[in-house]
Amino acid sequence: MRVGARELRTKAARVLEEVQRGYDVTITYRNVPVAVIKPVRTRKAKRKFEPIGFGMWARRKDLRDVGGWVRKVRRPRYAR
């Protein structure tokens, strides 16, 4: 999102809402970029890892619960 300096002064709350949603905001002065406002990343705001959403495993129904699948596969090998 690009915002001019005057628009930033008048609509600061809306710009900050966009930053809270995770968007970068570029501030321009006379149509020249001068600054970027980015959301702060905290330890809790880590990217969510979704192992089912990539590659050749994306449509496998037996891998919907990855933890359960791993336990099922390892059970015979590590059974006591």
Q: What is the pLDDT of residue 26?
A: 95
Looking at the structure, do residues 32 and 6 belong to the same domain, yes or no?
yes
Q: Which of 41, 39, 23 is nearest to 3 (CA)?
A: 23
pLDDT in tens, 21-60: 889 999 999 999 999 999 987 666 566 665 555 566 666 7
Domain with 60, as residue range(s), is: 47-78
Would you place residue 73 in the very low, low, confident or very high pLDDT band (cuts 50, 70, 90)? confident
pTM for this predicted structure: 0.51
What is d(CA 50, CA 36) in angstroms, rounded to the nearest whole number? 29
Q: What is the number of domains present in the chain?
A: 2
42 falls within a domain:
no
Looking at the structure, do residues 6 and 33 belong to the same domain, yes or no?
yes
Work out the mean pLDDT of the chain and round it to a whole number.
81
11 contacts 2 by C-beta, under 8 angstroms: no
Q: Which of 3-7, 57-61, 64-68 has the highest mean pLDDT?
A: 3-7
